[in-house]
Amino acid sequence: MGCAQVTHVWHYGLMAEFWARFKTDAPEAPFFIESVRRFGEPVLDLGCGTGRILLPLLRSGLDADGCDVSPDMLRWAKEAAEREGFAPRLHAQAMHELDLPRRYRTIVICGSFGLGGSRATDLECLRRCHRHLEPGGALVFNVEIEYGSSAWELWRTPDALPAPWPERGAPRIAPDGSEHYMQIRAVAADPLTQTYTREVRLEKWASGQLVARESYTLRGSMYLREELLLMLQVAGFEPTSVHGDFTPEPATARHQELVFTAQRP
């Protein structure tokens, strides 16, 4: 059986396999592809994971590289890309330690900004992205707004945490017939520092036998629009536009996702 790991992000082992097998839809990809068409290639998918956004970029004929903190996720991304005849450059680095030999016209981050670090490391991530862009290039990334989801109640009642584990529920069945279970719970939420902690339990079964059981911890930060606009300015970006839910529409309080497009002068 797999051993439990304690880490700031949870995208390893069985979680990486779960993403590779079951988290393959990419409704955000057209927005990012259009952004690359606008600002140019090459493009870096930062926090590329198992290739959910990277593969659509490659299918569109774009010169795209990938980078992720998890070697486990990158192995799945490499296999998926090779099955389709692609051989992208893949790098195992944390966002705030980004140090690649190439410079880009566009850098995209989908659903990964603010995970596993701190305000300081997230600001350093923005600075590293700025450094890796050609003049006139753009960083395009999104954050989910907590006040538009059921998770907002956790920020109002942090003393009620940790939450109990949910029922295990029915398994997800992989193409090889293996059964995968996932349970996620909120452990902590601090509205003052705008940080949260969540835990996940994962199991993999095959032929009626438990193959592996793992657990991980994810820590993250919640951001609002004005704070991120200021951070981008401090990191050297200008100008910045903010769209809602991966559409051309300017962001409003009704949107669940804020998508920032920030240019290097």
pLDDT digits (tens, 9 = 90+) for 134-144: 999 999 999 99
Residue 91, in any domain of the structure = yes
User: What average pLDDT does range 48-58 have in this prediction?
Assistant: 98
User: What average pLDDT does range 27-39 have in this prediction?
Assistant: 98
Mean pLDDT of the residues in the chain:
94
Residue 183, in any domain of the structure = no
Residue 85, in any domain of the structure = yes
Length of the chain: 265
Residue 258, in any domain of the structure = yes
Q: 152-200: per-residue pLDDT in tens?
A: 888 888 888 999 999 999 999 999 999 999 999 999 999 999 999 999 9
**What does pTM read for this prediction?**
0.94
Residue 2, in any domain of the structure = no
- Domain boundaries, position 248: 31-146+224-263
SS3 (DSSP) at 202? strand
Question: What is the rounded distance in angstroms from the CA atom of residue 144 to the CA atom of residue 133?
Answer: 24
pLDDT at 1 over 50: no
The pLDDT of residue 42 is 98
154 vs 246, more confident: 246
CATH number of the domain bearing residue 139: 3.40.50.150
- Beta pairing, strands 133-144 & 64-68: unpaired
User: pLDDT class for 7, splitting at 50, 70, 90?
Assistant: very low
Structural domain total, the chain:
1
Residue 252, in any domain of the structure = yes
User: pLDDT class for 2, splitting at 50, 70, 90?
Assistant: very low
Q: 103-160: per-residue pLDDT in tens?
A: 999 999 999 999 998 999 999 999 999 999 999 999 999 999 988 777 788 888 888 8
Residue 9's nearest CA partner among 71, 90, 89 is: 71
pLDDT at 3 over 90: no
User: pLDDT class for 5, splitting at 50, 70, 90?
Assistant: very low
The pLDDT of residue 59 is 98
Residue 209, in any domain of the structure = no
Residue 178, in any domain of the structure = no
23 vs 147, more confident: 23
Query: Would you list the DSSP string of 117-169?
Result: S-HHHHHHHHHHHHHTEEEEEEEEEEEE-GGGSTTHHHHH-GGGPSPPPPP--
